[in-house]
Amino acid sequence: MADVPLLTALHGGTDRADALTVDGRSCGYEDLLGAAGAVARRVAGAEAFAVRATASLETVAAVVGGLLAGVPVVPLAPDAGPAESEHILRDSGAEVVPVDFAERADFPARACTAASVTDTDAAPYGNAALVLYTSGTTGPPKGVMISRAAIAADLDALAQAWQWTADDTLVHGLPLFHVHGLVLGVLGALRTGSRLVHTGRPTPQAYAAAGGSLYFGVPTVWHRVVRDEAAARALAGARLLVSGSAPLPAPVFRDLRALTGHEPVERYGMTETLITVSARADGERRPGAVGTALPGITTRIADSADGVGELQLQGPTLFDGYLGRPEATAASYTADGWFRTGDIAAVDADGTHRIVGRASTDMIKSGGYRIGAGEVENALLDHPAVREAAVVGAPHPDLGQQIVAYVVAEGVSAAELTDFVAARLSVHKRPRTVHFLAELPRNAMGKPQKRLLPPA
């Protein structure tokens, strides 16, 4: 793998003027390499640099330029507030580098291989190609160091699982400062040679108009697509729809199947691990399941009760550690070397994984029962009046925890929703309290932010 360019399409791929389209602007591989070369010349010799990761050709050029120069790239969310930006820049030691896509320069691609060894191997960045910052749900955001080798291993495994080739046109409108939008959605296209259409914003209308064969989306995107029947039906000609970054509600899965003729592929991953589990393009897909482990990945369920417990991982896609935080890195692994995801999962007899939720927020222990929040959320979303749902456990003097639901719904009462869930699941899984909200708090990837919900 060490001799294989990470961005295969840029080194021998068939060029075309619209190989990449980002928010309405297109370019070919030659133009991208020229712009990236200008970035590489500017940052060569730096320890790291940051880029405001807007949905733009400039962001793509910055990331490719960092790979060419062997300098770690720190993508910054374009809407990050002053405090968050200051923390990331101070923590990483990186400075924001402006990018002019019109600039051109040649730069040797000596570092742009899957497992290249460059001067950046010295501490503190190691072999990092990217330093992606976590969402900070358990404290200040931490820098996750991801190597070229990990990226290459993951993209090759996904290309195999999804039958992803240069004949595809990948369409998505995801942020370019996360694994989903940047690593899979940009570097994946540049490794496989597939044409990329980034829609700027992931609207149903933009997805429908793009004419892609392979689509990436988060559950929020797919929920909006199925609410626009014309847009959903326009995706019938696609080859594969992929959902990730959060669990896809079962009703949305069923609606996509009915309107597009496609059962979406779900996959599972984290910033620290990249994508490790996925359904296959030629395999069974079912609601609530994220498929089987990718080649090279080994999983286990630890501390299980009734087959449910923490998902732990080993494999070549794992991160190189948290930047400047050796204690946090060590704490993320078990004594025998398994990465602790913090997610609660179950594995069926055929190896199919089901993610129940986060250990800290989504595993509710009520009256001696272990209840996954996602199961209750899916039951609530089956009610026609419910558009969004989030479920948490709240302290209860008798039960230990009680189930509390937050819903976006109209024309239905809390009692009706409680009875609705009790009729579909076990009675002990019904919400004891239901709060009605105008919308759920979500991050840029569409994940509900349960820590920002009003007090239960």
Q: How confident is the model at residue 4 (pLDDT cuts 50, 70, 90)?
A: low
- Whether residue 18 is found in the same domain as residue 129: yes
The model carries a pTM of: 0.84
Question: 151-165 in b/e burial notation, b at 16+ Cβ within 10 A?
Answer: bbbbbbbbbebbebe
pLDDT of residue 113: 60
- Whether residue 376 is found in the same domain as residue 262: no
C-alpha triplet 160, 29, 186: angle, nearest 5°: 45
Asked if the structure places residue 291 within a domain, the reply is no
Asked if the structure places residue 413 within a domain, the reply is yes
Asked if the structure places residue 351 within a domain, the reply is no
Q: How confident is the model at residue 262 (pLDDT cuts 50, 70, 90)?
A: very high
Give the up-direction half-sphere exposure of residue 227: CA atoms within 13 A in the CB hemisphere. Answer: 11
pLDDT of residue 119: 43
Q: Which residues contact 451 (CB under 8 A, 6 or more apart)?
A: 137, 361
pLDDT of 188 higher than 60: yes
pLDDT digits (tens, 9 = 90+) for 389-429: 999 998 887 787 899 999 999 999 999 999 999 888 878 89
pLDDT digits (tens, 9 = 90+) for 280-295: 999 999 998 999 999 9
Q: At 72, which CATH number?
A: 3.40.50.12780
Q: How confident is the model at residue 116 (pLDDT cuts 50, 70, 90)?
A: low
pLDDT of residue 305: 65
Instruction: Identify the domain boundary among 220, 242, 269.
Output: 269
Mean of all residue pLDDT scores within the chain: 90
Pairwise pLDDT comparison (20 vs 363), residue with the higher score: 20
Q: How confident is the model at residue 72 (pLDDT cuts 50, 70, 90)?
A: very high
Asked if the structure places residue 296 within a domain, the reply is no
CB atoms within 10 A of CB 3: 8
Residue 381 phi, psi (nearest 5):
-70, -15
Asked if the structure places residue 283 within a domain, the reply is no
Asked if the structure places residue 32 within a domain, the reply is yes
Instruction: Identify the domain boundary among 269, 304, 323.
Output: 269
Asked if the structure places residue 324 within a domain, the reply is no
From the list 386, 375, 388, the residue with the least C-alpha distance to 424 is 375
pLDDT of 242 higher than 90: yes
Domain encompassing residue 428: 363-452
pLDDT digits (tens, 9 = 90+) for 204-216: 999 999 999 999 9
- Whether residue 254 is found in the same domain as residue 373: no
From the list 446, 453, 452, the residue with the least C-alpha distance to 216 is 446
From the list 339, 340, 316, the residue with the least C-alpha distance to 150 is 316
- Whether residue 16 is found in the same domain as residue 141: yes
From the list 142, 146, 145, 204, the residue with the least C-alpha distance to 172 is 204
Q: At 424, which CATH number?
A: 3.30.300.30
Asked if the structure places residue 232 within a domain, the reply is yes
pLDDT of residue 378: 85
Instruction: Identify the domain boundary among 211, 241, 269.
Output: 269
How many domains, the chain? Answer: 2
